[in-house]
Amino acid sequence: MERVPEELPLGRLEAFSDGVFAIAITLLVLELGVAQDAGDHLLESILDEWPSLLAYLTSFMTIGVIWLQHSAITGALSAADATLYRINLLVLLLVGFIPFPTKLVSEFVDDYDAERVAVVFYGLTLLALALALTVFVRYAAENPRLVKDEVAAEDVESALVHQPDFLFYGIGIGVGFFFPRIGVILFLLTALYVGIPGRTIHRLLRGQPPSSDGPPSVSG
């Protein structure tokens, strides 16, 4: 007889995850700043920092959207198990790592070769995070015993199955190798697109199964 994995408290997974998300998103702002001797040229100095501000906004939106997705999925679950805990740690590992490539993008804006390496590395980090979250969702969907009775497992999986992250991040990485700042803008647009209200992920946040509105064309 196949042994069923022991169920673990979902609340601890959610609480720990929220803490990591909050710390990571707070660390982003610590990388912003201007020269202390800016003086009368403060406004000009602030405007000169626009690549750093763009990287901050992109990372903030990305972490925010991932948190929305994570909250929607865990909200559709009734329990967790050891494997889901471990997959969740992988997601959090990458969430907590995002401030590092964000810092690289901010620091090497005046060096074209270094900047494009930083942007490609940044994009690969975002791509890895999207992959880890997909694994998290797929595992939950393939284990109906973890899903609330009122939520269909296929509705959980459909929250990400049509998500364009991989394609968009891949395009952003390719473009970013030649035009680094345009690559970062594409990463930002990806986060904004996935976070559009009314998509499948937001229906799950409201506790409304995606299937109640028919099959989504593209979900986030």
CATH code where residue 48 lies: 1.20.1410
Handedness of CA 67, 125, 122, 174 (dihedral sign): negative
Q: Is residue 1 part of a domain?
A: no
Note down the domain range covering 140.
Answer: 7-213
Predicted confidence (pLDDT) at residue 184 exceeds the cutoff of 80: yes
Q: Is residue 219 part of a domain?
A: no
Main-chain dihedrals φ then ψ at residue 81, nearest 5 degrees: -140, 180
Q: Is residue 22 part of a domain?
A: yes
Distance between CA atoms of 122 and 97, rounded to whole angstroms? 10
Q: How confident is the model at residue 197 (pLDDT cuts 50, 70, 90)?
A: low
Q: Is residue 218 part of a domain?
A: no
Residue 112 to residues 54, 123, 179, Cα–Cα distance (Å) = 17, 16, 9
Structure tokens at 148: 């609330």
- With both helix axes pointing from N to C terminus, report the angle between 50-75 and 99-107 in degrees, rounded to the nearest 10: 170
Given this model, what pLDDT does residue 173 score? Answer: 95
Residue 40 to residues 44, 53, 93, Cα–Cα distance (Å) = 9, 21, 42
Instruction: Let me know if 180 is exposed, middle or buried by CB neighbors in 10 A (0-12, 13-18, 19+).
Output: buried
Of the candidate ranges 31-40, 56-65, 180-189, the one whose mean pLDDT is the lowest:
31-40
Q: Is residue 186 part of a domain?
A: yes
Q: Is residue 115 part of a domain?
A: yes
Predicted confidence (pLDDT) at residue 145 exceeds the cutoff of 50: yes
Give me the number of domains the chain comprises.
1
| pLDDT tens, residue by residue, 1-13 | 445 567 788 999 9
